[in-house]
A = this chain, B = another copy of it.
Amino acid sequence: MPPFTDGRSLRLAARQGNFSAQTSGQAPDFVQANLVVVPESAAYEFLLFCQRNPKPCPLLEVVEAGSVEAVRLAPGSDLRRDLPRYRVFRDGKLSEEPTDVTALWRDDLVSFLIGCSFSFDRRLIDGGLEVRNVALGKNVPMYRTSIACRKAGRFDGPLVVSMRPFTPGEALRAARISGELPQVHGAPIHIGNPAALGIADLGRPDYGEAVPVHEGELPVFWACGVTPQEVLLRARLPLAITHAPGHMFVSDLREKHLREFSERLA
Q: Which residues of B contact A44 (CB under 8 A)?
A: 43-44, 47
Is residue A59 within 8 Å, beta carbon to beta carbon, of the partner chain? Answer: yes
Contact present for A59 and B51 (CB under 8 Å) = yes
A107 to B147, CA, bound (A): 30
- How many chain-A residues does the 8 Å CB contact rule pick out? 26
**Copies of this protein, total:** 2
Q: Which residues of B contact A47 (CB under 8 A)?
A: 44, 47-48, 51
Minimum CB–CB distance for A102 against chain B, Å = 25
Contact present for B223 and A147 (CB under 8 Å) = no
Q: Which of A24-32, A132-140, A235-243, A258-266 contacts B (4 or more CB under 8 A)?
A: A258-266
Contact present for A265 and B62 (CB under 8 Å) = no
With CB as the reference atom, state the residue of chain B lying closest to A153: B64
Is residue A186 within 8 Å, beta carbon to beta carbon, of the partner chain? Answer: yes
Footprint of B on A, CB under 8 Å? 43-44, 47-48, 50-52, 54-55, 59, 62, 64, 147-148, 150, 152-153, 159, 186-187, 189, 223, 262-263, 265-266
